Structure formats: C-alpha cells, structure tokens
Structure 1
Amino acid sequence: MYRSVSQLSNTTTSDFPRRKAVSLAVASLLSLACAQAAAQTGQAADPGSGPAADTDSKTEVVTVTATRRREPIRDVPLRVETISTESLERSGAASLTDYVGSLPGVHVESDGGPGRGQVSIRGVTVGSLSAPTVGIYIDDTPFGSSTGFVGEAVSALDLSLLDLHHVELLRGPQGTLYGAGAMGGLLKYVTNDPDPSGLSGKAGLAVRQSRKGALGHTEHAVINAPLSEGVAALRVAAFNEHDGGFLRAIGPAAGKHVNDGDTRGMRLSVLIDPSSKLRMRLTATQQDIERDGTVIAQYDARTGQPLHGELTQFLYRPEPYSIRTGVLSGTVEYEMGWARLNVIASSQRFKAKTALDATEIVGAAGIDFAGLDNDTDLRKRTAEVRLTSSRGPVEWLLGFYHNKETGNRYQRLWAQLPDSSQMDFVTSGQPSRFQENALYGDITWNPSAAWSFTLGARNARNRQVYGTVTNGVKDFESGGKEGSKTYLATARYSIDKSSSVYFRAASGYRPGGPNPPALDQDGSIVPGAPLTFEADKLWSYEVGYKADLLDRRLFLELALFDIRWDKLQQPVAFGVTTLTGNAGEAESKGLELALRYKVNERFSLDGSLAWTDAKLTEDAPALGQAGMRLPNTARFSASVNGRYDFELNGKRAWAGLGVRHVGQRNAGFDTPTSSVPYFSIPGYTVADAQLGVDIDGWELGAFVRNLTDKRALSGADTALTSFGGPLRATPMQPRTVGLSVARSF
C-alpha cells in the first residue's frame, strides 16, 4: 500500500516547495503469507544427471502435493504449473522476470531490477505496488510480509537458481491453505533434499554478455555428503553471479553498464531420516543482491518514446540498491498410521536499501542533486502444525498457523549542495508489527473411484500496529484487530483413467490496517479521511479439464475462470497525504490452455496461452470508472517451446527454441484523476534458443535470449508522473549470448 510521510512537510528546513517534497516522499513509497503449495515431478532429478533422451514417446507423469497429498496433476482440481530448474538453467533464465514473468497470464512488475518486483496472476492487481496478492514460499516456509507497511510488495523473492529442484505456480486464490496475501495465487521455490544414499555433487561456470553490455559470469557448486549412510545427509550449495549490465547513463552521473552488480547465495541443509516414520530437515538460506543501478529508462508518458534514447537513463545521482535475505527453517514429519504430523518453524530477516534520484521532482536549482533513500527491515517468525489423514473414502486435513512480523521503513529526502554538504528535507520512520493466528482444514469425500468432493475453510485473526516517526519525533501510532474467513469447495469427476473435469470455488483476502492522519499543505488534519482500511476479498470460480491423450503422448489442461473482487485496496489522496482506501469492484475472467506433446522419443513440444479480461465493474474514484481494464495484464499472451534430443558424434545432445508473446498492457487507468496514472505498454514477441551436449559427464551448453534483439518494455511505473517526474519503464534485456560448462559426480 502507499504509506504517507507527508505529515512531515511542516518540518522541512529548506526553501524548496513543500508540496513537491511531500509529493515525492509519498510517491517514493512505490519504490506473503501462509503455508505450502507443492508441485513436484514424479522423481527428483539427480543434480548431475545429463539430458538423456526419453526411452519412449509418452509424456512424463507429473505429480503434485498442492492439496498436501501427492497425486497426479490430472487428478488435482486446480491449475498448477511446474517449471524445471534444468530447463531454466539451459535457457539462461536468471531472474524472476525470466522464469515466471514469461508465463502467460502472469506479470512481474519490476521496480528497478532483480529483487524489486511484484507478481500478479490472472489480473488480480490495481497496478500500485501495494500489499502482495501472490504468496511466495521456499519449500514449507512463507516469505515476506503479509502487509504493505514495510514495502514487501515491491520485494517479491527473486531467488536465483540455487540448487532448486523446480519452481511451481498455483493459479487462483489459495486462501484456505495458504492464508493472507495468496488471493491471486502462490509461487513456490522447491529445493533439492539432501540424499543419504551417497556422495554426489556438481560444479559449473557460465559466461554471458548482452548486446552493448559488459561480460557477466556465474559460478556455482553443490555437494551432497552422507553423514550416516541411509539415515542422514548434509547438502551445501553456493553460487556467485556477476551481472555485467547493459544500460548507460547520461547527465551528471553518466556511465556505462550502470545496472551491473552481483548476487551471492548459499544454502546449507541437513536431513535426518532415521526410520520410515520420522523425517527431519533443517535448512539455512542466505542471498545478497547488490546492484550499482536500476534497470530503468525514462519515457515520455504521452508519446511512449524514450526521453534520452533506448536503454539510456538520465541521472543526477546513481541509484544503487542492495537486498539481503536470510531464512532459517526446520521441519519434522512423523507418520502415525492414521495421520501424518508435520511441524514447521521458520525465522527470516529481510533488509533492503534503495536510492532514488529525486532531482527532477524536487527541482535542480541551487543543488547538485536530490535523493530519496529507503531502508527496509523485516523480521518474521512462523510456526505451523498440520495433521493429514491417511487415504480412504473420507480424508481430512487440520492445521494451525502462527505468524509474527516486526518491520520498519526509514526514508530520507535530502539534497547535496554545491559545496558538497548535505541538507535533509525530511526523514521518516514507519515502524509496524503484525501478528496472525489461523486455524484451517478441509475434508474430502470420495464416494467412488470417479467422484471426489472437498470442502475447506480457514479462520484467521490478526493484530497489527503501525506508526510514523518524523524527523526523529514519534507523531503517530495506531493499531487494530481483524478477523477473516476464507472458503474452498471443489468437485472432480474422472471421465476415465486418463481424463477428468473439475469445478473449484475459492476465496482469498488481504489484511486491512490503520492509516495515519491526513494532512493538508499547512500541516493541518484533513477531516473525514479514513483512519483504517478494510481487507479486500475475492471469490474465484473455475472449471477445468485435464487429460492424457494419444496414448499419453499429449497432456492437455484447459481452465475457465471468473474472479469477483470486492472493496479494492487502493491509494487515495487526502490533502497532501496518500492513504489506503477501499472502493469499487472488479472482475477478471478468462481462459487458459496448456499442453505437452511428445511427438516421438526425440522431439517434444509444450505450449500455453491465456486470455484474460480484467476490468473494474464498479467505479473506484481513486482508480477509474467501471469498464476500465485493470493494469499490467495482457488480454492475450502465449508461449511455445520445442526441444529435440539427438546424438552428436555418439554423445547425447539437445537443441531448443522458444517463442513467447505478450499483448498490450495498461500501466494504470486512463483518467486524469487516477492515483495510478495511465501508460500504454506495447505488446511484444521474443524468441530464445539453446543448444547443449553431454561429453563423458561434462555438460556444455550455449543459449541466446531475445534472439532477434527486440526492444520491448516488461513494465512501467507511472507513480512519479503525477508529480512532474518521468515515467520509469523497465526495458527488456537486449540479445544476450551465453556459454556454460558443468561437471557432476
């Protein structure tokens, strides 16, 4: 959500226009939630396995645990996608935008580069970087804040491919099993388990370079060592990545490749599996992202053209940022026969520092430059206990979830003067606390082999406190309590052993919270402004068809959905303060189609498409009128990928080509009074290619991303245009060529 610090304006100590300083502080605020969703391939891949050709022409049987039970994806009444880490590595995917943002019907709104983004699915977004609508998990551990108080909405976990088994995406609200913030869906990173059966490992090196960019490189290694054969194992993975950058800057802070930087990470995991009934795992993950600048180019919002040339920024000052993420988690699983007990606990720390060039908004007269610095700090602890019944005519699940978050966001609006001294306009701290307890469960009735019915519910209560500290003086604090209920109902019918149809109705929500007092330009309180905002909620209705056809050579998924969203959370201006309010209704309806086709034992195709019609159905005065499209969602998007396995001088080899299309999107609402200003983002079509060979255990690969060097925009932030600033657009990475080598043992 937008969070105001404009009440600080009456303490500004400069002669610059107070309104511009306040507006900048408010606008700069532009600059997940509960349990597990899993979708796993039927067999965990050995980290050293090469690209062997399939032994037959049938598609792989993929199983999922999205309902907390392992079952074929065809039998799950839910649209689930799994993305193989192996395929991502071979394609050169390096960020959340690469491996999730390219999925039809999914959008990653970037706020300047890796680690700075927000995921939306099926059009569930109003375009402002507010509280998240998609939950994010690492294995069984939820990541990030459930609110927008600490800026988590612009910090979706951009976990590099650090010894991941796969990435999975669940579309549609997951509020019953996963709680607050999963109203649009859920994204999960699934890591590789330690293997007690033997010593193994993998090491690799990759280099890549974008057109007109600098050389980048990645080094990674993983080692799996048994601590007690068949009982316990230790797995350690580490990587270092240098991004050479491709943007140039002109102006006082001119430079080449200004968006270069490094990402480093490490994971240590211990698995103890002493019996067939008991299993324990402890995992620690650390990742640091550091960039010298943002992936931003300034555009003219009226003409849609770059202001300073393609892939070019104008900077009075650099815009470096850093994001540090640390997660410690522990899981215990015990099979009691009549039910399985899972106990999960986690602790995480998130710290981010960002810098914004604010000169064009504050004004350059009499100063070298103006800047807005943001420091974000989040500490989060979770605990979950879950019981899952054994298989039978009646199955059930019961769980309890506890979450405690403490956060703070510190902002400093300042200027550097010609004598190199610094002057503060205003500083603000925004401390917050959030605590949630939830009881959830479901019950499934299987009256026959063909029919299955499920009912589920979740009852959650949260308590939160939010305040502001202006220039070191605490001036506001407010708290509140809130309860929310979500529901789930599904019905599945197996037409035969290879196909099924389903119906799913599910609800989701985001928590409400307190607002600070609204102030006018003189610092006086504006009467009638909302002191709190409510939770916004939605219901989703989905029918789908899943089938293995053509003797299991073709797997097909078709889903039709209709989402009704009420009391939309949105930024609302009162005086010079931007609060969060509730208004309007929206609907998102659409169709999704996905298929995997095994043409023969060597050639395979997979493709998907999404048609989404997301729009306001009731006026939302701070956004737009009924009938206006919701932002950041293309009406049509699609992708198709082909892979061919062959032999090259007796060695196993492969080649792949992928093409993806994203249609036109709106960044905001086309009305002058909207708090999310309008910009039309053109559609684009890009292609990627890869080639590789396995030579006696050495895997050599090459890839090209954006093969035709298409100039396109993956997103745009219009927040500053209302205050006289430029439109900050995120250009797509130009053609990038890479080579890799890896060795397994």
Structure 2
Amino acid sequence: MIARKLRGQLTHGVALRAMACAGLALSGLATTPVRAQGMSPDEIIVTARRTEERLQDVPISITVFSGDQIEKRNIAVASDLAAFTPSLSVNTRYGPEKSTFSIRGFNQDASTAPTVGVYFADVVGVRAQGGTAGGNTVGAGAFTDLQNVQVLKGPQGTLQGRNTTGGAVLLVPSKPTDLLEASIEGTYGNYDQRRVQAMFNAPLADTFKIRVAIDRNERDGYMKNHSGIGPRDFNDVNYFYGRLSIVADLTPDLENYTIFHYSRSDTNGYASHYEFCDRNPTSPFAGGNLTRYYTSLAACDQIDRQAARGDGPLDVEVGNPNPRMFLRTWQAINTTTWQASDTITIKNIASYGEYREQSQFQLYSDNFFVPDTDVTRFYAGLFGPQVGGRFDYIQLGTMPNYNAAAESTVTEELQLQGRSADGKLNYVIGGYLEFSRPIGWNQQRTGIYGNCTDPGTMDCAAGLPLSAASPIPGTIISESRTRMKFDNHGVFAQGTYNFTDKLALTLGGRWTFDKIDGLSESNRWVYVQHPTFGYIVASRVCNDNLNHPTVNLVANGGDTSACRTRIVNKSNKPTWLIDFDFKPTPDTLIYAKYARGYRQGTVNFTNPGIETALPEKVDAYEVGAKLTFRGALPGYFNIAGFWNDFSDQQVFGALIAKEGSGLVGGAAIINAGKSVIRGVEVDAGITPVQGLRFSAGYTYLDTELKELVPPPLSADSPFEEIIPRGAIGGPLTYSPKHKMSLSGDYAVSLGENVGELSFGAIFTYTAKQLVDGSIEVPGYSLLNLNAGIADIGGTGFDVMLFAQNVTNKKYRTTTGGGYDSAGIGDFMYGPPRMYGLRLKYNFGR
C-alpha cells in the first residue's frame, strides 16, 4: 500500500496530495480511498457536511491526517493527535488515555460534557462518567488501520451528534474492499517498545466483504519512580485493540456496514514531578489550615530529596504500592444506507458501546512523611502522628467487584439526504437519540490523609491529625457511589441552495434536548488512632452533609440509601448555522458564516451545595478563503479568521474546605464566565518539484476572560471559598497564543524492483499556555523525523526508521493544580526522545 501511495505521489504531484500527505490543516475531509488521494482537488469527494461534496466547495477549516501519516507520527491514543494539529490542545491531567481536548480555547474540565466531540465511524465516543475527568473518547489503539482522521474546528451543533462548542475529531476506519490483501507490521523502539499490528481484508462474495485489524502495543514508562515502592516507572503503554468490519451489499441500492471494536489498556497510570511548594505555610496556631501545613512541608521535603538525588524532570517519587489504570471500551456500530432514488438517500446509524474503568493512584504523585517542625512535634506529643511517619494526601483505590466508572451508550441517528431535481438544493434532515446508562454503581474509595496500602479494601493506618481541635491521627475514607443517566436527543436540518454556480447560501438548525439524572449515596468513614482502643471507626456519615446532616451510618448498619441524593439537570436549546459561499473561480472559495454553539450543563456530587452548572453558549463568527494554485508551482493557501462571544461559561473553581468539614476540597464547575475568543488559522502547501512537498499550519489564538464571578456559598456550606480558574483580562486555559506545524516530505524511486525511498520531517511549536488559575507552562518545539524504503526489491516489505522529539526536549504539559488546597506544585511532562524501527510486510498487493 505504501509503495502504491508513493508511486501515486510521484505521478500526480498536485497540491491536494501535499495537503493529504503532510497531514496539516486542510479545508475538507478526504474520504476517498488512499489510492485516489493523488487526484486533482476537483475530484476529491468530502463529507464534512454529512453529504458528498467536492473538496473545494466545503467552507470549513479542518486538519486531515491520512492513514500513512498516522503511522509515521506514531499516533496511538487520542492525546497524540494534539502535538501535530494547530488549534488543538490536550489536557492529560489523568493520563493520555483519559485526555480531554480543547479547540480554539474551548476546554473541558472535571465532569463536564466534552467541548470537542470524538467520533468513530460517525458515532460519538462511549461516555466515561467517572470520578476524574476523562475522555468520553475512543479507546487506545483506535487509530489503527484508519482511512483518515479529521479535526473540525468551531461549533458543530447542527449536524454532529452531541452539541459541542469547540469542534469535533472524526476517525474514519478503513472500510472493507474488494481486494484480498493483508499486512503484518512489527515495531521495536527505545523504552523497550514492542508493537505488532496486522490487517486482513477479504471479499467472501461479490456482495460480502470483511476486514480485521489488531494492534498490540507495549512500552515502558518514561517517568522513573525513585520511592522504592510500587512500579519502577509511570506513563507506560500497554494495550490491545481489535476491530472487525463487515460490508454486506443486500441489494444494488442497499448497503449494510457493521463494525465491532474493542480496546483494553492496563498501565501504571501517570505521575507528576514536584517543582515548587509553599515553604512558609501559615501555622495552625496562627489560624492556618492544619492539613495544608503538613502537606505543604511534606511536598517541600519531597522536592529536597529529589534535589539531593540529582533528579531530572522525568524522575518522580510515588509511594503507591499498587497503582493501576485499567480501561476497557467496546462498541458495535451499524450503518445502513439505502439509495432510494437518484435524488434521495436514507441512512441509519445505530450503535451500542460500554466503558469500564478501574483505577487506583495517588492523585498528586506523592510520597509524604510527617515533617519535623515545632508544630508537628507538638502534635506528636498529643498522640499525633510521629515525625517521619508516612501519610498519603489523596489516594484513589479500587473497590472489589466495582468499577470506578461503568457506563453504556446507545445511539440512533436517521438521516434523509437529498437534492432537488435541478441540482441547486442539497439538504440533510434527521433525528438523533442517545441514551447513556450506568452499569451498576460507579463506586470508588479514596483515602485522605491516611497511610493506606489500598483504601479500596480499607487497608489503611492512621495518618495526619484531622483537625486542630482533635489532634489524634486518623484517616478519611471517602466512598463515591453514584449512578448517572444521560439523555441527548435532537432533530436537525441543513441545506445549501446554489443561486448560481458562484454564490450559495447554507442554512442549518438543530434543537437539542439534554437530561442528566444523577443519583448519589456517597459517604465517608473517619478512622482515628485511639490511645486505648487502637485504630477504630470514629464516624461514618454522608458526604452530602447539607441534605443529610444527621445520618449515622454506623448506627443504621451501613444503609447508604439514607444518604441518597437525586439531582436532575435538564435543558433544551436551539443551535444554528448561516453561511454564504462565493466562488469567483473554480479554484477560489470565499465564505462567511455565523453559528450558535451550545454545551449541556453538568452534575457533580462531590461538591455539596454547588453540584450543578447550567449550559453554556457561544456565538461564532468566521470568514475564510481557500485558494488552489496550479501550473509550474502547484500549491494551496487557506486562511480563516474567527471571533467567538462566549457566555454562561462553565469554569473550574477550586474549593477550599472548612476545617473539620471532613472534606479535602473539591473541583466545582460554576457558570461564572464570559469570554472573547478570536484568532486566525493559516494553512499552506507547495510541491516545487515532483516528489517534494512542503506544508505549514499556523494558528494565532487570542482569548480573554471578560467576567469571572463565583456564586455565593451558603452559611452552612462545608466550603469556605471558591477560587475560579483564571483572571479577568487574562487568557483561558490550554489556549496557546501561537501554534505551528511545518513538514517536508520527499519520495524518490530507486529503480524498477528496487524500492522507493522516502524522507519526512515535522517541526511543531506550541507557545506558552495557562494550565491552571495562575500556573503557566513554557512554550516548546518538537522535531520528528522518519525515513524508509517501501516495497524493497519488489518483495512487499517496507522498512522505516522514526524518531520523535529528536532533540529530547523536556517539556511540561499540565499541572495537578494543588497549590491552593495543599501547597503542592507539580507538573506532568510529555514524552522524551522516542525512536525505533518498523518492519511491515504486505500480502496480496
């Protein structure tokens, strides 16, 4: 396949091929087979607006990666995509498998709905509604054997499933073909990476075809653990992925396309490197928070131990004996397409999927010991924790026979696609249903301030004094026990009317109905180290102490239904699109559009009194031009300028718990913001000589928070303060002002039956960006290289060498954000230099 593609590149050498092979921002979705991507731009058919259109007729800013480019960039999980995509940023706070996306400054925090929808074969990712932010995306390995990936920028509230304000990422799997073919591929790289991928495609009959793809990938972690406890490394890779695709042509006009895919990822999880701390926390004797005093100084001691060892940014010290991030996702998708007439097509897309997560980890990657100060020695003399004794800050554990998150998702979408007899009107009308239901209780135990081997099994000993008034050491074990139901429904219609062959108007609308029905029975144990009776239960109460302040779960035998709280959050909103297109020549498209975007509200039971947030909306304005150049120097130049007015913004707010509340703090989502988001996106490419392509993508993003007013807290709230993320007049998080990608590819034939040689280089730059309320990560640049020979000696063998982050940059990606509540300053880091060798054999080509 690679040999055929390279021959196509040498034969055609047109501007569109430069776009497709560089994998940079394009203005269209290349949905034709790879073997046709060397054709003229006029012949490429795209489906960005859910109907087939010519590439140059689509007024959308999109980044496209071909299957070949996904392979060369080693994109295996969703977070890998952001490194190469202008406008796309990623939050890996809880690891790459649970990453959340940001496009044009629209972020997803905590338990909110995604601002960027991730779709596989036109179906949104299975919901992942756990205790930590995560994903709602595709499983690890889903980038295997793809036709292409597209990143759509801006609100997608008329035609794409769930409403999103930032955009959408579409994964298009390779569809079964009429060819009998197969491939097997092995990769070996540093950090002991071992990866095997295989594909098999077969036409079992004239009307029945199947395709199978698998991916097994293992790699050691690059964050090295120096605690002497637990695994030797973190940020490792260990997944299996499999897919079966079936196409049945039931009649000449009726096609049934079914996909089953499964992902299983089992790793040590993420870890962060400590870099700063509060070395002068306010003493509890002077009104300071007692537990913050301990955690701040313990964090400082951990930093001092790192310095004494000479640790670098990729060295960590995590005291968890059994960390684990175990994620399983599977999904079945069926698409039935009926060509009812020459002008009418009916398409039905149905799916069912499940997500399960078991996770146990130190939320802040700590290995803490009681510090030695006058204050801690005083409490040690009052039966408090002894100086040098171990304690955990926040440790999540897995309960036997329960999942931290387990959710099923059913979707059903019916589309009517049509065009008028004169060809001037093209339209799509449809309806969408989505039901997400819990698979049992989402249940997880978290040890706080204790000394736990596994809080999930209550295997803990006493840690810190839990309040200045009661200096006896203890442990809080919080049991999160929730069930969440989500309904997302919508009806939509969109049409384009061509007044002339140069002027067109597109109108689209959607009405969306959202409902979240949440049930919580969350509660907590308080254990203390009694001087006479030992380590005992002091109390067991409801976490929601506003609605259930007098419940005693010890006295009622542990009946958690006494803590039951139900919250229903409903909304229904219209979204729309108005777009004018002008094509003065076949190679020039100028467009202007206005769209309304909408994102549903949220429910989060961990924050009594402020559990819900209302929907947010955005008014998005965009103008752009797409130009294609032919002749001696073929190329393209695409530019888009956008302005977004963002209101009712869902903003993350750190919660500071009252002393003695029994809570460690929280992460509330509040409707506290109004923002303006504006910027420019530029994409360009040229083919100066046959086989040589240069491409570039650049995004300038200017975000400004205009309003930030946290809601008031009630007098009986267990929290004393909300600290919203951000500052008025400042930027939004995960919104670098500049992001750029440059690439060059060269392919040349070595002669008949010798092979084809290719070289590639990709340079990316990301400017500094805010990742927490006042914490900024510096900008960084990365260089990736690849070189290979395809179809060596006509044998079907391909060999490729690759290197990512060639200069071995140590670059920060995000922070845990624990300074306000615990005096901790930690950072997560991106992968260091990764390199390896890939050998592939193609059968039947």
When normalised by structure 1's length, the TM-score is 0.85
Matched, 1:256 2:260: no
The CA deviation string for residues 227-253 of structure 1, in whole angstroms up to 9 with x for no partner, is 212x11111111111112222111242
What does residue 776 of structure 2 align with? 680
Matched, 1:225 2:206: no
What does residue 371 of structure 1 align with? 395
Q: Choose from 236, 240, 243 the match for 1:267.
A: 243
Letter in 2 for 1:330: N
What does residue 625 of structure 2 align with? 545
Q: Choose from 495, 498, 506 the match for 1:454.
A: 506
Matched, 1:58 2:14: yes
Matched, 1:422 2:453: no
What does residue 524 of structure 1 align with? none
Q: Assess if the C-alpha contact under 8 Å between 1:47 and 1:201 holds in 2.
A: no
Q: Distance in 2 between matches of 1:530 and 1:83?
A: 41
Q: Distance in 2 between matches of 1:278 and 1:83?
A: 30
Q: Assess if the C-alpha contact under 8 Å between 2:125 and 2:136 holds in 1.
A: no
SS of residue matched to 1:115: helix
| Aligned-pair CA distance for 1:139 | 0.8
Structure 1, 365-374 or 423-432: larger mean CA deviation: 365-374
What does residue 157 of structure 1 align with? 138
What does residue 419 of structure 2 align with? 390
| Aligned-pair CA distance for 1:302 | 8.6
Q: Assess if the C-alpha contact under 8 Å between 2:109 and 2:133 holds in 1.
A: no
The CA deviation string for residues 559-586 of structure 1, in whole angstroms up to 9 with x for no partner, is 0000111101124448656543212201
Matched, 1:562 2:643: yes
Letter in 2 for 1:157: V
| Aligned-pair CA distance for 1:223 | 0.6
| Aligned-pair CA distance for 1:272 | 0.7
The CA deviation string for residues 100-148 of structure 1, in whole angstroms up to 9 with x for no partner, is 3321221011124331210110111276573310001001211133x96
SS of residue matched to 2:819: helix
Letter in 2 for 1:549: F
Structure 1, 319-328 or 370-379: larger mean CA deviation: 370-379
Q: Assess if the C-alpha contact under 8 Å between 1:679 and 1:718 holds in 2.
A: no
SS of residue matched to 2:483: strand
Q: Assess if the C-alpha contact under 8 Å between 1:118 and 1:129 holds in 2.
A: no
Q: Assess if the C-alpha contact under 8 Å between 1:716 and 1:727 holds in 2.
A: no
| Aligned-pair CA distance for 1:345 | 0.6
Q: Assess if the C-alpha contact under 8 Å between 2:102 and 2:108 holds in 1.
A: no
SS of residue matched to 1:101: helix
SS of residue matched to 1:710: coil
What does residue 616 of structure 1 align with? 705
Cα distance, 1:433–1:300 mapped onto 2, change above 3 Å: same
Q: Assess if the C-alpha contact under 8 Å between 2:273 and 2:316 holds in 1.
A: yes
The CA deviation string for residues 203-224 of structure 1, in whole angstroms up to 9 with x for no partner, is 1101111xxxx31111011111
Q: Distance in 1 between matches of 2:157 and 2:123?
A: 16
| Aligned-pair CA distance for 1:651 | 2.1
Q: Distance in 2 between matches of 1:302 and 1:641?
A: 43
When normalised by structure 2's length, the TM-score is 0.75
What does residue 411 of structure 1 align with? 444
Matched, 1:655 2:735: no
Q: Distance in 2 between matches of 1:466 and 1:235?
A: 40
Q: Choose from 764, 768, 777 the match for 1:664.
A: 768
Cα distance, 1:373–1:722 mapped onto 2, change above 3 Å: farther
Q: Distance in 1 between matches of 2:833 and 2:604?
A: 45
Q: Distance in 2 between matches of 1:325 and 1:515?
A: 23
Q: Assess if the C-alpha contact under 8 Å between 2:413 and 2:431 holds in 1.
A: yes
SS of residue matched to 1:178: coil
Cα distance, 1:485–1:640 mapped onto 2, change above 3 Å: same
Q: Assess if the C-alpha contact under 8 Å between 2:94 and 2:134 holds in 1.
A: no
Question: Percent identity between the aligned chains?
Answer: 21
| Aligned-pair CA distance for 1:289 | 1.1
| Aligned-pair CA distance for 1:517 | 9.1
What does residue 535 of structure 1 align with? 615
Structure 1, 186-195 or 570-579: larger mean CA deviation: 570-579
What does residue 638 of structure 1 align with? 740
Letter in 2 for 1:741: L
How many residues were matched structurally? 675
SS of residue matched to 1:245: coil
Q: Choose from 238, 243, 246 the match for 2:219.
A: 243
Cα distance, 1:302–1:544 mapped onto 2, change above 3 Å: farther
Matched, 1:312 2:267: no
Q: Distance in 2 between matches of 1:397 and 1:469?
A: 44
Letter in 2 for 1:508: G
Matched, 1:107 2:107: no
Q: Distance in 1 between matches of 2:93 and 2:212?
A: 32
Q: Choose from 287, 293, 296 the match for 2:263.
A: 287
| Aligned-pair CA distance for 1:469 | 1.2
Q: Distance in 1 between matches of 2:606 and 2:691?
A: 65
Q: Distance in 1 between matches of 2:211 and 2:366?
A: 50
Structure 1, 298-307 or 420-429: larger mean CA deviation: 298-307
Cα distance, 1:49–1:429 mapped onto 2, change above 3 Å: farther
Structure 1, 452-461 or 614-623: larger mean CA deviation: 614-623
Structure 1, 327-336 or 63-72: larger mean CA deviation: 63-72
| Aligned-pair CA distance for 1:361 | 9.7
Q: Choose from 334, 337, 340 the match for 2:345.
A: 340
- Higher-Rg structure is 2
Matched, 1:718 2:816: yes
Q: Assess if the C-alpha contact under 8 Å between 1:244 and 1:261 holds in 2.
A: yes
| Aligned-pair CA distance for 1:83 | 0.5
The CA deviation string for residues 258-278 of structure 1, in whole angstroms up to 9 with x for no partner, is 333411010011101244311
| Aligned-pair CA distance for 1:58 | 1.5
Q: Distance in 2 between matches of 1:115 and 1:276?
A: 41
| Aligned-pair CA distance for 1:363 | 7.0
Q: Distance in 1 between matches of 2:123 and 2:582?
A: 32
| Aligned-pair CA distance for 1:691 | 0.3
Matched, 1:580 2:557: no
| Aligned-pair CA distance for 1:151 | 4.9
Q: Assess if the C-alpha contact under 8 Å between 1:289 and 1:323 holds in 2.
A: yes
Q: Distance in 1 between matches of 2:767 and 2:453?
A: 47
What does residue 741 of structure 1 align with? 839
Structure 1, 327-336 or 428-437: larger mean CA deviation: 428-437
| Aligned-pair CA distance for 1:183 | 1.1
What does residue 380 of structure 1 align with? 409
Q: Distance in 1 between matches of 2:130 and 2:518?
A: 8
Q: Distance in 2 between matches of 1:427 and 1:362?
A: 22
Letter in 1 for 2:327: I
Cα distance, 1:357–1:246 mapped onto 2, change above 3 Å: same
What does residue 732 of structure 1 align with? 830
Cα distance, 1:218–1:417 mapped onto 2, change above 3 Å: closer
What does residue 164 of structure 2 align with? 182
Structure 1, 398-407 or 299-308: larger mean CA deviation: 299-308
Q: Distance in 2 between matches of 1:658 and 1:515?
A: 41
| Aligned-pair CA distance for 1:648 | 3.7
Cα distance, 1:722–1:329 mapped onto 2, change above 3 Å: same
Matched, 1:464 2:563: no
Cα distance, 1:666–1:152 mapped onto 2, change above 3 Å: closer
Q: Distance in 1 between matches of 2:767 and 2:278?
A: 19
What does residue 693 of structure 1 align with? 789
Cα distance, 1:744–1:382 mapped onto 2, change above 3 Å: same
Q: Assess if the C-alpha contact under 8 Å between 1:127 and 1:631 holds in 2.
A: no
**Gapped regions of structure 2 (runs ≥ 5):** 17-40, 280-299, 371-384, 399-403, 462-475, 524-558, 658-664, 711-723
Cα distance, 1:157–1:101 mapped onto 2, change above 3 Å: farther
Matches within 5 A, 1:326-365: 326-337=330-341, 338-357=343-362, 360=366, 365=385
What does residue 121 of structure 2 align with? 139
Letter in 2 for 1:710: K
Cα distance, 1:641–1:514 mapped onto 2, change above 3 Å: closer
The CA deviation string for residues 330-368 of structure 1, in whole angstroms up to 9 with x for no partner, is 110001123110011100101112222258599765556
Q: Distance in 2 between matches of 1:218 and 1:176?
A: 39
Q: Pairwise CA RMSD of aligned residues?
A: 2.7
